[in-house]
Structure 1
Amino acid sequence: MTTENEDKNKKKEVKFIDHDFDGIKELDNPIPLWFHCLFYGTIILGAAYLLYYQIYKGGNTLKKDYLASMEQNSGESPKGENVPFDYKNFLQDKDKIKSGKQIYASNCGSCHGMSGQGGVGPNLTDDFWIAGDTYADVQKIIEEGEPAKGMPGWKSILGDKKIQDLVIYIASIQGTNPPGAKKAEGKAGKLH
């Protein structure tokens, strides 16, 4: 029979794995329960993800989200058809006008005047247009620029959404007649 002290000493005895390397011995400790739970939980979560997203095609995949965001930014439908942005639905949208005003102030105001009255660039508040009097014409001139007249293209810098907000802002300042406006240039026509 063993005494109580001998039982305690055996419990405190450290177990080593039978091999050693350069005099280093490895303890034979069991893997903790939390690690087992984490390991098997990860396997279960991975299997659920595989079933939901890959086998049963539920939810949006990263590819679907990416394609949807590209479609939204480019104005193209998933079938590759070019769908123009409908400005008429957003002409009274205060958020887009506010966004367009900020974009205008930081990128366009130095040449076209802070109120659109013109300066180096033409007056944007009157009903005379050099590049055309449609929203698509204004969008195109902003995107591509007019290098011969010193206007850079802004498509790669601003992107489609900011350019659309900018066109909406330009439409909102039509007819405001700010003081010191530059004389009319181009053909007469109401922006439409």
Structure 2
Amino acid sequence: MQLCEGCHYGAERIACVSSRLQEDWKGLTSVLEERSNTLVMSTDFHQGAEQFLGRVEGWCEACADDSLPGEMAELEASIQQHQTLYEEITSAYTQVSERGKALLEVLQRPAEPDESGLPAATTDFTAATHGIMGVLHEVMQGHQHVEGAWQHRKLRLHQRLQLCVFQQDVRQVLKHFTTVTDLGLDTHTNTHTHTQRRLCHCYFVLTL
């Protein structure tokens, strides 16, 4: 630039070369920044996928717990805890999936035309794209496996809750029959016999 300012005989040529170098430098820094961002996205995706797949076994073990609370309050707490687990699994899966899709969009994005209007030369990311799709498929399979185990335990918990509610209703009916019997209805033979049969049935239900 000093040569240009000093009215050097090649000033025009120097200015042209300098301008071209500046444009090339801007293009290079832009490409480097884009590659750097892509590497960060790739690292985040693969780390997230690895963490998700590493937690699948633990999630499945939590869902495979055969113990079911017998008390209503404990059962409701277990159902809430199970729902919280589902939200945790879903959040982790959604995060990995969105990162993978965003990374694929970047790698599959068409090259922007250069100043001549022709597409700029780009790196072939076909192998990387296939690798990412493979990881996404593995994550999806892991999620389906966990969700199946989660749904199975959810069904058992809610069936147990329904049974507890039913048993609670039976206890109330049993208490009612006992009260009625104490009021003297047992003096009538037929009524007493019918009441005893109902009581026996209620006791049978409570032992389920």
Structure number with the bigger relative contact order (C-alpha 8 A, sep ≥ 6) is 2
Pair member with larger Rg: 2
Structure having the higher helix fraction is 2
TM-score range, shorter chain: 0.3 to 0.5
Question: Taking structure 1 as the reference length, what is the TM-score of the superposition?
Answer: 0.33
Question: Taking structure 2 as the reference length, what is the TM-score of the superposition?
Answer: 0.31
